[in-house]
Chain A
Amino acid sequence: MPRPANAIDFWRGCALVTISIDHVPGNLYVNYTLHNFALSDASEVFVFLAGWAMRLVADGSAARSNPGAANWRLVRRSGRLYVSQIVFSLLALAILVLGAVVLNAPFLYDWNAAGTVFADPVRGLIGLATLLTQLGYFNILPLYVILMLMAPVMITIYRRWPMLLLPASLALYAVVLASRFNLPNWPAPGSWFLNPFAWQLNFVLGFSIAGKTGIGAFARRFRWPLFVVSLPILALGLLASQTHFAPISPQTPWIRLFVAFNKTYESPARLINMLALAAVVPGIFEVLHRVIAPVTSAFAKLGRNSLSVFCVGSLASLVGQIYRYVVGGGALNDTLILVCTFLVLWITAWYTEDLSPRWSLRWPSR
């Protein structure tokens, strides 16, 4: 039996739907997703909640009784994420080829940064295999792969020196932002779109706040003051996103990323905005669940099956992009894409959660 709908799964489901919408450029509903109302976007929420979920696992009896086995499960999960990234990147490439051939549209070979692979398949395939080539909108799983590889270290620090985890994570974050270190792309120039060594702080914050000790205890004890403090932060985030404000980049290189609203390096302003969201928004789930339980349950179902939903959602967004090229945009088409995408995501979750166990078929991982 799947666990009942809860706030974490619900917001994860919301983040997954938002990501799917954001990945169809130009569509009407892109104007109403989180990034229009805050400095942070759905990917930040998603990673924060992944850290939160990791804490629940780490504090579970299975992980505490056998930490070695729990760590090995994290490494295996990293492997499953890697396989998912490779398989779904190849499926995305196949969809683009099919579209390009059927529609006589050679520009589809370029979409989602696929041009790197098609133009130079020998090096491009090595790039895909090593995660140094990432298709556009397929940048989150490589980040997860690294985070899962880092997770055993994080959890070991948490068990032995719980007060050290957040400072260690902050120190790594500060060094990365000051040095502007990032993993490279290859064979294309540039670097990773989501820098795992910066984004790990987001993950660790989720992990830490989910706990009932340390900063988690602080967040619970001062829930209402934090709620009140967060409101003006959210208002500023709303103002900045609506006015497209971004700070002037300082001349001094090492402080630039601390000041900016940089997504690649998950700059502090974006993190603070996301923490403010975390302080204000979660309570809404309880209210919504009392009023529209079927809807909140549907979103929670997506959240419980986040890997499969994310992967299939990436392909659904790609099909949505091609559909828009053929048929055009507009309210009707964009609404159709939105409804179909949600249905595809829900069917994927239903298959993963309800159908595949009955058929003894398993999705690689939830």
Chain B
Amino acid sequence: MVHRGSITALVLALAFALAPAARAQAPVVAAAAFSASCAVPDADVATSGSLASLGAKLKAGDPVKIMAIGSSSTVGIGASSRNHAYPSDLSGILAKALKGSHIEIINRGVSGEVAATTAQRIRDEVDVERPDLLLWQLGTNDALSRVPPDQFAETVNTTLDWLKENKIEVALIGLQYTSKLARDANYIAIRDVLFKIANERHILYIRRYAAMKFIARTRAKVRLLSPDHFHLNDLGYECMAEQVAHAVVASLFVKRFRPGAAR
């Protein structure tokens, strides 16, 4: 889990770490705070993973490239414009949280895509763009296309192996929550497989399902979904971006794995 309290500590640790060497170039770090509509308990944000290499590059003042890849939630389907897709929102949040940093976020979302197709694109896109961090949003279309969970797991694991060999850090972004899909056994099976993979491999895993479910159950007036009750709306993408930013900033300086909690 990423603990909100621990973020403050991490921020302070970072400020301390940056002080002697790279004060002129390194970004000033502030916690990526949640807005009132999007705030969720620490346990529902993400499971822990280290993005230490990204942190080191930021600390050195180097420019970093983040590639957001995935399906409709990455494209921003349901948002009022492309500027409200989560990678766009994330760019603004990280710019504030990591002042002075040079972060480029590339959106490579393709709507409706299953993990196997994205896995092929990841290899192809990484060859061209060589990002420092890959944000891989996945699972929803595999569940709905009835991809067997073990086949899905194999696709994810082999891709993560390749990314690891290529020293590219990755954060997995899980499935969204809707009341209808919560009753779909295959959907839950894919969600659980993804959680298991992330936990076993100590990879940062954004617990989108848990966060959206918490907001849906505790704030009746907060609507994260567009009128089709499936895609996110502007607020949904803003909350997703805040959740990702929160987890990423907290993971920049995590060096060792801390066990996650229940999904």
State whether A116 and B75 are in contact (beta carbons under 8 Å apart), knowing that A26-B147, A244-B161 are contacts in the complex.
Answer: yes
Q: In the complex, A72→B137 CA distance in Å?
A: 46
Shortest distance between the CB of B123 and any CB in chain A (Å): 6
Contact B230–A136 (Cβ < 8 Å): no
B151: chain A residues within 8 A (beta carbon):
26, 31
Given the complex, which residues of B lie within 8 Å of A193, measured CB to CB?
Answer: 121
Chain B residue, CB-CB nearest to A117? B111
Q: Is A257 an interface residue (CB 8 A)?
A: yes
Q: From residue 86 to 140 of chain B, which have CB atoms closer than 8 A to chain A?
A: 106-114, 116-117, 120-121, 123-128, 130, 140
State whether A115 and B145 are in contact (beta carbons under 8 Å apart), knowing that A25-B116, A26-B151 are contacts in the complex: no
Q: Is B35 an interface residue (CB 8 A)?
A: no
Among the listed A189, A253, A264, A324, which residue makes an inter-chain contact with B145, where contact means beta carbons less than 8 Å apart?
Answer: A324
Interface residues of A in 98-129 (CB under 8 A from B): 105-107, 109-116, 118-120
Given contacts A264-B124, A265-B124, contact A189 B146 (CB under 8 A): no
Q: A114-B111, A263-B120 are in contact. Are A244 and B158 (CB under 8 A)?
A: yes
Instruction: List A contacts of B121 (CB < 8 A).
Output: 193
B48 close to chain A: CB less than 8 A: no
Contacts of B120 in A (CB 8 A): 263
Contact A248–B124 (Cβ < 8 Å): no
Is B108 in contact with A189, judged by CB distance below 8 angstroms? yes
Number of chain A interface residues as a range: 35 or more
CA distance A328 to B146 in the complex (A): 6
What chain A residues lie within 8 Å of B63 (beta carbons)? none
With both beta carbons as reference points, the residue of chain B lying nearest to A28 in the complex is identified as: B148
A41 — nearest CB in chain B belongs to which residue? B120
Are B124 and A25 interface neighbours, CB within 8 A?
A: no
Q: Give Cα A256 to B124, complex, Å.
A: 10
A253→B230 contact, CB < 8 A: no
- Determine whether B218 belongs to the interface, using a CB cutoff of 8 Å to chain A: no
The answer to whether B77 touches A115 (Cβ under 8 A) is yes
Q: A248-B165, A249-B127, A261-B123 are in contact. Are A111 and B112 (CB under 8 A)?
A: yes
Closest to A325 in B: B144
Q: A262-B123, A263-B124 are in contact. Are A111 and B141 (CB under 8 A)?
A: yes
Which residues of chain A come closer than 8 Å to B147, judged between CB atoms? 25-26, 329
Q: How far is the CA of A25 from the CA of B108 in the complex (A)?
A: 20
Cβ B112 vs Cβ A113 within 8 A: yes
B200 within 8 A of A: no
Task: Tell me if B142 is interfacial: C-beta within 8 Å of chain A.
Answer: yes
Q: CB of A188 within 8 A of chain B? A: yes
Whole-angstrom CA separation of A286 from B139 in the bound complex: 44
CA distance A248 to B130 in the complex (A): 12
Q: How far is the CB of B18 from chain A (nearest CB, A)?
A: 26
Which single member of A119, A136, A188, A260 contacts B117 (CB below 8 Å)? Answer: A136
Q: Is A249 a contact of B77 with CB atoms below 8 Å?
A: no
Q: Smallest Cβ distance from A116 to chain B, in angstroms? A: 6
A119-B75, A188-B110, A263-B124 known; A249-B145 Cβ under 8 A = no
5 intermolecular pairs with C-beta atoms under 8 Å apart: A119-B78, A188-B110, A244-B158, A257-B128, A328-B146
B110 in contact with A26 (CB, 8 Å) = no
A116 with B111, Cβ < 8 A, contacts A110-B77, A248-B166 known: yes
Q: Please state if B228 and A329 are interface contacts (CB–CB under 8 Å).
A: no
Q: Which A residues are in CB contact (< 8 Å) with B76?
A: 119
A114 to B111, CA, bound (A): 7
Is B191 positioned at the interface, with any CB of A under 8 Å from its CB?
Answer: no
Does chain B have a CB within 8 A of A180? yes
Any chain A CB within 8 A of the CB of B229? yes
Complex alpha-carbon distance, A260 and B120, angstroms: 12
Chain B residues whose C-beta falls within 8 Å of the C-beta of A260 in the assembled complex: 123, 127
B162 and A107 contacting across the interface, CB-CB below 8 Å: no
Chain A neighbourhood of B229, CB < 8 A:
106
B70 → A minimal CB distance (Å): 11
